[in-house]
Amino acid sequence: MNKATASKVIVTGGCGYIGSHTVIELQQSGFDVIVVDDLSNSSAETIDRSVQITGKSPVFVNLDLKDEKACYSFFKEHQEASGVIHFAAHKAVGESVQKPLMYYQNNFFSLINCLSAMHELEMNNFIFSSSATVYGTPETLPITESEQTQRPFSPYGNTKKVAEEILEDFIDSTDKFAAISLRYFNPIGAHDSGLIGELPSGIPNNLMPYITQTAAGVREKLMIFGNDYPTKDGTPIRDYIHVVDLAKAHVVAIQRLLDKKKKKNYEIFNLGTGIGYSVMDVIQTFEEVSGQKLNYEITDRRPGDVPFLFASTDLAKEKLGWVAEKNLSEMISSSWEWERNFRNKNK
């Protein structure tokens, strides 16, 4: 028998970039949090930092969710949790092209082990971290959730598309299980405290950490991947969203699943601001907020990049009552603040 209480939430991958911000928002909204993470792309220090911010300590379990038995034991131990937010996955697009099997293994086995344990233990509320990458090259803009998904360019992206399909098939086979997939656009930014933020291992793939690391002197220059796209300045347009806004959407999503009147079997929501900015817009805003010139050079297009990607945010607004609140300057200044704090501490 499931002894669900409304207040405990399991966060897989809760030491990572988006997970750690979500842990804080959950705690500040009154939830008790159980973090499970194998620290393959994060550090347990994040937990100490979140305690500094909220004054509350989450339970932390260091565990690889690919390990089926260990995963089941973990869920059994914490079966009183009322919901699960599943962030744990590998996420580097380039690495996934080099090591596709590692990506399929980690992202699928972790998901399937979590779902199997939950099924066995009658734990029924699940939030899945998906990505706008499932839209491939979209036919219409802004992209609505009803847009047909396409095979993404990378094995990483494909893990998200197929994971959504696995989730849907599983939901179709059960009565009680309910899930929400959240398709993130481009998360950037860091917590206002300056204590947690994005910490990519090795050379960053993504634009924002590459910019802040270049400005901090860790990288020599940013290479801009093409300026011959059919956009206003030739560089691709993306929908950047502040990680704290994103984290807040997870709180609202879990609350929706816990509300019997609102909960549906399966729903999908885009999480973006609905506003598209070019790479040059991001650089210009960075230079404004930091008061610093950025060293950059134009190079060839990066394979797989699409010219335009921005969300329709109507569904999240209508059903979740959620809208992103922070603008591009706030996103970029918090990323820069985090980078500077981190580099100063580690001098």
Catalytic residues: 156
**256-259 long-range Cβ contacts below 8 angstroms, 24+ apart:** 256/180, 256/319, 256/320, 257/83, 257/125, 257/126, 257/127, 257/178, 257/179, 257/180, 258/6, 258/82, 258/83, 258/125
Q: How many residues bind ligand WQD (CB under 6 A)?
A: 19
Is residue 204 involved in binding ligand NAD (CB under 6 A)?
A: no
Task: Supply the minimum distance, in Å, between the C-beta of residue 22 and ligand WQD.
Answer: 15
Single residue of 210, 310, 338, 342 touching ligand WQD by CB under 6 A: 210
Single residue of 9, 15, 167, 309 touching ligand NAD by CB under 6 A: 15
Task: Supply the minimum distance, in Å, between the C-beta of residue 293 and ligand NAD.
Answer: 26
Task: Supply the minimum distance, in Å, between the C-beta of residue 210 and ligand WQD.
Answer: 4
Is residue 155 involved in binding ligand WQD (CB under 6 A)?
A: no
CA distances from 342 to 16, 71, 221, 345 (A): 16, 33, 19, 5
Partner touching 89 among ligand NAD, ligand WQD, none, CB below 5 to 8 Å by kind: ligand NAD
Is residue 224 involved in binding ligand WQD (CB under 6 A)?
A: yes
Is residue 273 involved in binding ligand NAD (CB under 6 A)?
A: no
Rounded Cα gap, residues 289 and 275, in angstroms: 19
Is residue 19 involved in binding ligand WQD (CB under 6 A)?
A: no
C-beta of residue 39 within 8 angstroms of C-beta of residue 12:
no
Footprint (CB under 6 A) of ligand WQD, residues 229-248:
236, 238
Is residue 184 involved in binding ligand NAD (CB under 6 A)?
A: yes
Q: Which of 115, 137, 123, 130 is nearest to 304 (CA)?
A: 137
- Helix or strand or coil: residue 311? strand
Write the burial class of residue 9 (CB in 10 Å: 0-12 exposed, 13-18 middle, 19+ buried). buried
Q: Which of 8, 49, 40 is nearest to 190 (CA)?
A: 49
Could you tell me the two tokens for 317? 């607004």
Provide the 10 A C-beta neighbour count for residue 217: 9
Task: Supply the minimum distance, in Å, between the C-beta of residue 66 and ligand NAD.
Answer: 5
Q: End-to-end distance of the chain based on CA atoms, in angstroms?
A: 53
Task: Supply the minimum distance, in Å, between the C-beta of residue 158 and ligand NAD.
Answer: 12
Is residue 90 involved in binding ligand WQD (CB under 6 A)?
A: no
Partner touching 205 among ligand WQD, ligand NAD, none, CB below 5 to 8 Å by kind: ligand WQD
Q: Which residues contact 83 (CB under 8 A, 6 or more apart)?
A: 9, 10, 125, 126, 127, 254, 257, 258
Task: Supply the minimum distance, in Å, between the C-beta of residue 317 and ligand WQD.
Answer: 22
Partner touching 112 among ligand WQD, ligand NAD, none, CB below 5 to 8 Å by kind: none
Residues that bind ligand NAD (CB under 6 A): 13, 15-19, 37-42, 64-66, 87-91, 106, 110, 129, 131, 184, 187
Residues that bind ligand WQD (CB under 6 A): 91, 93, 131, 133, 157, 186, 205-207, 210, 222-225, 236, 238, 279, 302, 305
